[in-house]
Amino acid sequence: MNPGTDTPAPRRAPDRCRSRAATLIAPLFAVWLAACGGSDQRSDAKPPHPSDDPSAHSVIRLDAEATALAGIRQEQLEPRATDDTITVTATIRPNQDRIARIAPRVEGRIVTVAANLGDVVKTGQPLAVMDSVALGEAHSSLQQARSAHRVAQADFERAQTLIADEIIPQRDYLRARSDLERSTAEQRAAEDKLRLLGGGQASGRGVSTFRLTAPLTGTVVEKNATVGELHSPSEPLFTIADLSVVWIEAHLTEDALSKVRTGTAATVTVQAYPGELFSGRVTYLASLLDKDSRTIPARIEVDNKDGRLKPEMFASATITTTRARQDVLSVPDAAVVLMHGQPSVFVAERGGFEARVIEVGEKLSGRTTIKSGVKAGEQVVTAGVYALKARALKSQIGDAH
């Protein structure tokens, strides 16, 4: 305390603490002000221009050498008169009117096999030889019937001679004639049985083997014959199909039924021969709707003399409808590629090529119709499209980095 007064002297230590705290807070406050100012500056910055987006389309420019190396070809878009068509997926089937499954008429064991899968056989050509106990028994029965018939024939001829000379009574003559008629019937029955068993004409000796022959000219498409195996009539050994004409089985939706008639022209494509068209005609439209798929089965017949169309291949069938022709823009199927998941084409523009998103329509005989995205008179790339796509994606990746 100060002398002469009860008032204590003021303390200076808290003032020094506040001074030191202010010294420490001042720089932090300055940093906070700078941060606020920076935030204001960022809020005043202009938004990026759409052209700065790496996903935006850009023009790809190539010199003449690079263009030739990429194999780029162009086509000018022009409206084309095109028949209204329907494109459906289909499956190739054998012509069911020209297919045969060959099985023995009687149970037997395979002795030899003369045909293999894929062989082209002609009508009457041997496929296999089989041995049958039942056929051997039928041959024996026929021989016995023929022997009995010869005896009855001789007895009857002798009775005719004796009855003419009145040496034997009429009763004996009638008995001889009855025996002849019975032996004749038994011989015919034995011959019919042998024929029904597939033995053909008897050779005059006990024969138990018989041949399986092709009932039509065609290709062996199935084979289940192995030497030594025992087979019954319920087991087909060979399947022969005439594949010179095949069936293309398709299914039409209900709204397409009014547009398609029997005899309508159609074209078929398969993945095995890209870009190649097989011509045919609609020969059958089902009378009943498939209740499960809600579609109408249809059949297209296509010539296949060179055998290139194989049964069970998947196909795409384009059927010409009964509607009038119309003008549409279209490009070859190969001109359309996916860019960022959207169908696009490359258009010649500003001295280069630009990817343009399009709305595609139906596929017509190897061409894809275009509803929007391009217009008549523009040049569209029809070959070398994937080289341009690779360059476009590469440039977008580079812009992103």
Out of 324, 343, 360, a domain closes at 324
Structure token digits, residue 50? 């759409």
Instruction: Determine the Cα–Cα distance for residues 191 and 149; give it in Å rounded to an integer.
Output: 13
Q: Which domain holds residue 114?
A: 99-132+208-237
Domains of the chain: total: 4
Instruction: Flag whether 350 is in a domain.
Output: yes
The answer to whether residues 254 and 266 belong to one domain is yes
Q: What are phi and psi of 386, to 5 degrees?
A: -70, -25
The predicted structure's pLDDT at residue 227: 94
Digit-coded pLDDT (tens) for 317-330 = 988 876 655 678 88
Q: Is the pLDDT of residue 233 over 60?
A: yes
Residue 118 burial (CB count, 10 A)? 10
Digit-coded pLDDT (tens) for 125-136 = 999 999 998 888
Q: Is 169 exposed, middle or buried (0-12, 13-18, 19+ CB in 10 A)?
A: exposed
Instruction: Flag whether 292 is in a domain.
Output: yes
The answer to whether residues 125 and 218 belong to one domain is yes
Q: At what angle do helices 133-164 and 170-196 cross, to 10 degrees?
A: 160
Average of pLDDT values for 149-169?
A: 89
The answer to whether residues 226 and 354 belong to one domain is no
Residue 134 burial (CB count, 10 A)? 15
Average of pLDDT values for 230-243?
A: 93
Average of pLDDT values for 272-288?
A: 91
Q: What are phi and psi of 264, to 5 degrees?
A: -65, 140
CATH code of 338's domain = 2.40.420.20
The answer to whether residues 255 and 316 belong to one domain is yes
CATH code of 175's domain = 1.10.287
The predicted structure's pLDDT at residue 129: 92
In degrees, rounded to 5, the angle at the alpha carbon of residue 342 between the alpha carbons of residues 63 and 61 is 10
The answer to whether residues 105 and 231 belong to one domain is yes
The answer to whether residues 111 and 227 belong to one domain is yes
- What is the rounded average pLDDT for all residues in the chain? 81
Digit-coded pLDDT (tens) for 33-64 = 344 444 333 334 443 333 343 334 478 888 88
Q: Which of 73, 74, 84 is nearest to 369 (CA)?
A: 84
Q: Is the pLDDT of residue 288 over 70?
A: yes
Digit-coded pLDDT (tens) for 90-109 = 999 999 999 999 999 889 99
Residues in the chain: 401
The predicted structure's pLDDT at residue 5: 43
pTM over 0.85: no
Positive or negative, the Cα torsion across 61, 66, 72, 78? positive
Digit-coded pLDDT (tens) for 59-69 = 888 888 888 88
User: Is the separation of the CB atoms in 297 and 283 below 8 Å?
Assistant: no
Confidence of residue 297 (pLDDT cuts 50, 70, 90): very high
Radius of gyration for the chain, computed over Cα atoms and rounded to the nearest angstrom: 46
More confident residue, 199 or 247: 247
The answer to whether residues 368 and 304 belong to one domain is no
Instruction: Determine the Cα–Cα distance for residues 161 and 167; give it in Å rounded to an integer.
Output: 9
The predicted structure's pLDDT at residue 25: 46
